[in-house]
Amino acid sequence: MISYSQAHSDLRDIFLGFVEGWDDASKVFLITIYSHWVERSQYPHVLPEKLPPFQLADQIQAQESSSPKHNSNQPLFKFRVLQRYGPKCAVCSVDRKEMLRATHLRPVTNDGSDDPRNGLILCANHHLAFNANLFAFDNSTLNVVFRPQGPNAHDLQITVDSLRSLPELPDQRALAWRYRYWKRVLGL
């Protein structure tokens, strides 16, 4: 990658990037850009063919101090979640990649992992509604459930009643964590 230099406007900075993976169905690919030279033999392979055993909590972040947690792996997480579920909102028909978000079931800020089985694809509107706890997923039935005396499927323009039609399902532990969290937040 070549970009304008921050040090001098007449100069250009050059960065090395590696194609990590691609997904034909989503029409996306992931490139990691390095600010320093990396020998190919030293380059770690970020995207293994097979996912490791699922861990709901991110072990590295759980061991860190109480400093603020930020999700620096969001591009990789979104790429892997798109690969897993396809480029379509899990609760409506929106399939424009520009409007899709990779949503953590257990957020990184709550020691959640960036494993794609801890995520779902939601459109921007449903991502906001999900994070505002306007709806959740019952982990035992996979049905979409709504806040008591809150907006319903029609109000939120949710057209899917369960996650059963997804090509893959999120990990049961991630769904259970989020459903318990949702009920606790609502005092149910």
Same domain? 96 vs 165: yes
How many whole angstroms separate alpha carbon 31 and alpha carbon 175? Answer: 30
Total domains present in the chain: 2
Is residue 65 one of the residues assigned to a domain? no
Specify whether 172 is located in the same domain as 85: yes
| Assigned domain for 87 exists | yes
Give per-residue pLDDT as tens, 41-96. 555 555 555 666 767 676 544 444 344 444 457 888 898 899 999 999 999 999 99
Is the same domain home to 188 and 103?
Answer: yes
Tens of pLDDT, residues 11-52: 887 766 666 666 777 767 666 666 655 555 555 555 555 666
Query: Which domain, by its residues, includes 7?
Result: 1-42
31 and 111 together in one domain? no
Query: In this structure, is residue 50 part of a structural domain?
Result: no
DSSP state at residue 52: P
Residue 117 has pLDDT above 70, yes or no: yes
The reply to whether 172 falls in a domain is yes
Positive or negative CA dihedral for 117, 121, 122, 128? positive
pLDDT of residue 3: 73
Domain match, 36 and 85 both? no
15's tokens: 């960065």
Say whether both 78 and 154 belong to one domain: yes
22 and 87 part of one domain: no
Q: Residue 72 is encoded by which pair of tokens?
A: 């620096």
Q: What letters, b where the CB count within 10 A reaches 16 and e where it falls short, cover 25-47?
A: ebebebebeeeeeeeeeeeeeee
Structure pTM?
0.69
Same domain assignment for residues 96 and 174: yes
In this structure, is residue 82 part of a structural domain?
yes
Based on the domain organization, do 23 and 78 belong to the same domain?
no
In a domain, 47, yes or no: no
Q: Is residue 183 part of a domain?
A: yes
- 78 and 163 in a single domain? The answer is yes
Domain co-membership, 89 together with 137 = yes
pLDDT at 42: 54
The answer on 136 and 80 residing in a single domain is yes
Task: Establish if 63 belongs to a structural domain.
Answer: no
